[in-house]
Amino acid sequence: MSSSDAARFFDTSGCLNLSRPTTGAPIFSSTNRRNERTRPISSSIPIRGQLKIDLYNFEHMDFIDSKYVLTSPRSLEACARLNIKPVILLPKRLADIQDDIGSEKVRLSTLADVRDQMEVDRLANLQRCREEREKIIREETLANPSSTKMIDPQPSIVRSSSIPRRTYVETKFNPSNSLLYGLDQPTTINSIPTRSQSATAVKFSEYDTYARLPSRSTSATRIPIANSILKSSISQWPPTSSYYEADNRDDQYEQRASSAHVIDDARRLNKNLQRMSISDHGSKQNKNERYVNGLENVKQMIERRVTHSTSGNDPDIATFEKKQYEVLLGHYDHELKIQKARENALRTKKEKEIERYETLLHDFLDHSKADERRENEIRRKINKLHHTRQLYETLQAKNYEMQLQDLQKHRAELQYKIKNKDRRTKHFVKDKKETTHLSRSLAKSSQDLREYLRETNENFAERAKKAELTNSVLDKKSTMPLNRRHFQSSLRT
């Protein structure tokens, strides 16, 4: 692969870090201008035998001026498998977060909370990438069992060949095994502890630029992680992969739980964190106390040695020894002051962390109570709407029944009216038929009478007398009422 192909690969794979310089021109920061110290910046600086930048040493200060975040093939393959850009694995400062937000009116506490959450996500992604890298190494080992070369999953800068950083026990000056042994022997020039062997020199050696940065301990990030977890229950940062599925299910279950359980969980978490912080800082405090006690004991022994020293042999030697003791006393006074200042700083930092955590817990409890009140209000409104709906449904059912009864009643009335109309129509038709039949009978009788008169040549007056006579006779014979038929028969006779 040529240099241009390699550059194109790194630029397009997400390894190009735009926050780092891409040329050999030095960049002067405010600290560099103040200290007048600059370092040559180049993308191809030979660092400890051309070490590859992998997931374990990319945060090392030797690679701070590198153009790319990662150059190790296995680390790049692990990031590619998880679809994570290497630039995301770099820690961000508050200024970078503020630039990403694009607003200068954001509070520092908000930026710190966002930075803590981003740091938790970054550490989680870094752990996943490291596990994937180890998985790749195991796959390569299984694929090539004949090779006798053992591949170390740890970084090259963590191996024994690199310069390890001194731990707390190695760097701290132990007066019990170094000075007390020297006090039993006669004081000479060779027995005087030099500057490089003192605790102050060892203290400054911790800031050696070529020493490896210590790995982040979980105890140092427990309180920020807990704070970010408490904040994430409110802001709910969305997960980026299936790595958080179980946590999301737990968070959803906690959101559905009652607020009383949430407050109990918060108090339990507070107690656990306090217990863990006490256990974490207990060992350090004990070490610091032992160290201070040792320094005070050595100082007291030196003072007793000065007071009981015999200067009868030679006044020059006595003067020289007195100066040596004064130097030692000044040295231990300085060490005691430094140690006490360090303890005060740690105590102040711890108090600030506790105060910050209490503030966050108080805010979390306030938000929980507000959520509880909001849920109660929503539940009350839902119950009210439910009762109102039930009332409306009951009224609607009653109105429907009343309308149905009115409809049935109206239908019965219409049927009754229709029956009455049908009956009257039948009577009317019957009367009409009878009237028509009677009219026809009268017309026929009149016609017969006219024909009879025309045949007999009788006038009407005579016929009327005859009818009256007939009527009078019929009235005497029977009391039955006469109808038209009798009248017709009488007329015919």
282-325 pLDDT, tens per residue? 555 666 666 666 666 766 776 676 666 654 557 777 777 777 77
Q: Which residue has the higher pLDDT, 32 or 103?
A: 103
Residue bearing tokens 């306090």: 274
Strand partners, 475: none
Average pLDDT of the chain, as a whole number: 68
Are 335 and 291 contacting, i.e. CB atoms less than 8 angstroms apart?
A: no
Percent of the chain at pLDDT > 70 equals 51
Does the pLDDT at position 351 exceed 50?
Answer: yes
Are 78 and 60 contacting, i.e. CB atoms less than 8 angstroms apart?
A: no
Rounded CA separation 13/79 (Å): 10
Give residue 406's pLDDT. 94
Q: Any residues with CB less than 8 A from the CB of 474 and at least 6 apart, and which? A: 482, 486, 490
Does the pLDDT at position 476 exceed 70?
Answer: no
Query: Residue range 265-290: average pLDDT?
Result: 59
Looking only at Cα atoms, what is the longest distance across the chain? Answer: 209
Residue 170 — very low, low, confident or very high, per pLDDT cuts 50/70/90?
Answer: very low
Give residue 105's pLDDT. 76
Residue of 81, 66, 59, 105 whose CA lies nearest to 13: 81
Q: Which residue has the higher pLDDT, 186 or 326?
A: 326
Q: What is the 3-state secondary structure (H, E, C) of 107-150?
A: CHHHHHHHHHHHHHHHHHHHHHHHHHHHHHHHHHHHHCCCCCCC
Residue 50: φ, ψ to 5°: 55, 60
Give residue 486's pLDDT. 53
Does the pLDDT at position 353 exceed 70?
Answer: yes
Are 180 and 301 contacting, i.e. CB atoms less than 8 angstroms apart?
A: yes
Report how many helices (DSSP H) and strands (DSSP E) the chain contains, helices first.
14, 0
Give residue 286's pLDDT. 64
Give residue 461's pLDDT. 78
Does the pLDDT at position 229 exceed 60?
Answer: no
Are 365 and 263 contacting, i.e. CB atoms less than 8 angstroms apart?
A: yes
Q: What is the pLDDT of residues 103-125, one digit of tens each?
A: 777 788 788 888 888 888 989 99
Give residue 421's pLDDT. 94
Could you write out the DSSP letters of every residue in 284-317?
HHHHHHHHHHHHHHHHHHHHHHHHH---SS-HHH
Does the pLDDT at position 279 exceed 60?
Answer: no
Lowest average pLDDT, out of 17-21, 60-64, 392-396, goes to 17-21
Residue of 156, 167, 183, 159 whose CA lies nearest to 217: 167
Does the pLDDT at position 480 exceed 60?
Answer: no
Are 460 and 453 contacting, i.e. CB atoms less than 8 angstroms apart?
A: yes
Residue bearing tokens 């191996």: 159
Structure tokens of 89? Answer: 């694995």
Give residue 200's pLDDT. 36
Q: Any residues with CB less than 8 A from the CB of 61 and at least 6 apart, and which? A: 209, 213
Query: Residue range 164-170: average pLDDT?
Result: 36
pTM for the structure as a whole = 0.28
Structure tokens of 118? Answer: 């981003």
Does the pLDDT at position 41 exceed 60?
Answer: no
Are 41 and 65 contacting, i.e. CB atoms less than 8 angstroms apart?
A: yes
Percent of the chain at pLDDT > 90 equals 18
Could you write out the DSSP letters of every residue in 414-453?
HHHHHHHHHHHHHHHHHHHHHHHHHHHHHHHHHHHHHHHH
Rounded CA separation 251/235 (Å): 12
* Range with top average pLDDT, 29-33, 410-414, 475-479: 410-414
Does the pLDDT at position 149 exceed 90?
Answer: no
Give residue 272's pLDDT. 58
Q: Any residues with CB less than 8 A from the CB of 86 and at least 6 apart, and which? A: 13, 14, 15, 58, 68, 69, 70, 75, 76, 79
Does the pLDDT at position 24 exceed 50?
Answer: no
